[in-house]
Structure 1
């Protein structure tokens, strides 16, 4: 949290105690776009700086936070998302969760509207939150590019904070078997959920808001937003949704090898070699391509095995020895599947006779 943000919130708290007229003006300003109400310029512009433009993300965040604080001046230590998650737990989280997902999907143009509604709900239930942290977060959210890295980071942090508060510990199932059973249940009964999971493949794992209600109940509350185990769940769910059938006996690498054998295509092997060279930063891109090939040819694989492997692969700090063993196993599975059984028998006979 920045000192500038702390100073601004302290200033608002001072206004609350000594200037009721200022607080009334700031409350009214929330009905307009951030920075669009001239009656509150004298309270906020001194913190915006002389070099900021009208649409500067920091300036917009200052105006919005000032209006929200004036409406609900209850400063607390936990984040806005955690406070909203607490509200979801208190009121039965389905409707509040829907609002939260819509908020996560908001861009710089619409975030103010969603936050106004959310803060009104927190005010009605007398739940406070940390305006300092909200100011810092919104300074990143107001960057106009919806896929800006800073905004994605904020969105993922908000997701984890919300669900860690909203979900009862007894609701969270983190083992691989429960995860696969959950995917099978979705495939059988919820086509809309599968569609959302397929859409999530266009985003970084965990960064597509509509997928969050489907996956977060299977994420350990102790895992942070960037935890490889959490990201693996989102990625595996997305690729499963492309072709929701399961084989208990075959890995994804073996399924891709079967595709290469069936198509008699060297390009599939080239893709596999590229996948083997991927690291934690780009494995998701290569895996999406591989999974689409497998889905197109109707082959199945074991998602529990894939989940276990990606929990290592997506970990940028994984031990090199673990990655070496993982890659060797994938290579073995792929090339065994590529080689027809008759060739395997011929090779065995030739080896025995040598």
Structure 2
């Protein structure tokens, strides 16, 4: 029997992916509406303006759990910062660790690994801030993110079990998929941003 909560999560992520499609639509009304929706989702990061994202998120019926509701808001905002979803299905590597692994192999910069290990070390309170930095970095280099997997993982990392075995398993999978070989291009074009990444401090 299908899990109703999993179906709602999938429907929400499908909606986010549809915004990406609409953003590139030849229909100016669809693309304009997508831009407005993404702008509202980005306001989830702006103190005093988070309410603009509430109608979108709560319109997709998140559970009556405040921790997961915050995750839906966070993932919506992250998607709005970087609406480049991971293409294709299957059960292969697709965590945030896999995305960072692609970035590392693309740039060949040790700063990427430092940024990734810092991300793994962050606790529940600091993780959202560092996720925003990470997503902006991936956006700058056009590396996709699987937002469905990210939502599921963050429900664990930012939920009641954020110090438990399930959270440890998520971080272990991120690390495993970071170091796995990937098929992404490893060459860097001359017009990409510098690989000299600033250090992240707590």
Residues 183, 237 of structure 1: 8 Å contact kept: yes
TM-score by length of 2: 0.72
Matched, 1:327 2:171: yes
Distance in 1 between residues matched to 2:62 and 2:43, nearest whole Å: 24
Root-mean-square deviation (Å) = 2.7
Distance in 1 between residues matched to 2:119 and 2:50, nearest whole Å: 23
- The CA deviation at 1:316 is 4.4
Structure 1 unmatched ranges of 5 or more: 1-171, 342-354
Partner of 1:275: 119
Measured against aligned partners, the alpha-carbon deviations of 1:96-127 in whole angstroms (never above 9, x if no partner) come to: xxxxxxxxxxxxxxxxxxxxxxxxxxxxxxxx
Matches within 5 A, 1:308-323: 308-318=152-162, 320-323=164-167
Distance in 2 between residues matched to 1:337 and 1:255, nearest whole Å: 12
Partner of 2:68: 229
Measured against aligned partners, the alpha-carbon deviations of 1:283-320 in whole angstroms (never above 9, x if no partner) come to: 10111111111111111121110000000111144451
Identify the match of residue 284 of structure 1 among 128, 152, 166. Answer: 128
Identify the match of residue 179 of structure 1 among 12, 31, 34. Answer: 12
Residues 253, 331 of structure 1: 8 Å contact kept: yes
Distance in 2 between residues matched to 1:245 and 1:304, nearest whole Å: 12
Matched, 1:218 2:57: no
Measured against aligned partners, the alpha-carbon deviations of 1:74-111 in whole angstroms (never above 9, x if no partner) come to: xxxxxxxxxxxxxxxxxxxxxxxxxxxxxxxxxxxxxx
**Relative to structure 1, is the Cα distance of residues 235 and 246 closer, same or farther in structure 2, using a 3 angstrom cutoff?**
same
Distance in 1 between residues matched to 2:141 and 2:39, nearest whole Å: 19
Residues 260, 269 of structure 1: 8 Å contact kept: yes
Distance in 2 between residues matched to 1:203 and 1:338, nearest whole Å: 38
Residues 174, 219 of structure 1: 8 Å contact kept: no
Matched, 1:196 2:40: yes
Residues 232, 314 of structure 1: 8 Å contact kept: yes
**Relative to structure 1, is the Cα distance of residues 262 and 221 closer, same or farther in structure 2, using a 3 angstrom cutoff?**
closer
Distance in 2 between residues matched to 1:330 and 1:175, nearest whole Å: 24
| Higher RCO (CA < 8 A, seq sep 6+) | 2
Identify the match of residue 253 of structure 1 among 83, 93, 97. Answer: 97
Larger Rg: 1
Measured against aligned partners, the alpha-carbon deviations of 1:211-270 in whole angstroms (never above 9, x if no partner) come to: 1111112244622xxx22111111111111122122145322211121122111111111
Partner of 2:83: 244
Distance in 1 between residues matched to 2:39 and 2:177, nearest whole Å: 30
Partner of 1:18: none
- The CA deviation at 1:279 is 1.4
TM-score by length of 1: 0.43
Q: Aligned residue pairs: how many?
A: 165
Measured against aligned partners, the alpha-carbon deviations of 1:7-32 in whole angstroms (never above 9, x if no partner) come to: xxxxxxxxxxxxxxxxxxxxxxxxxx
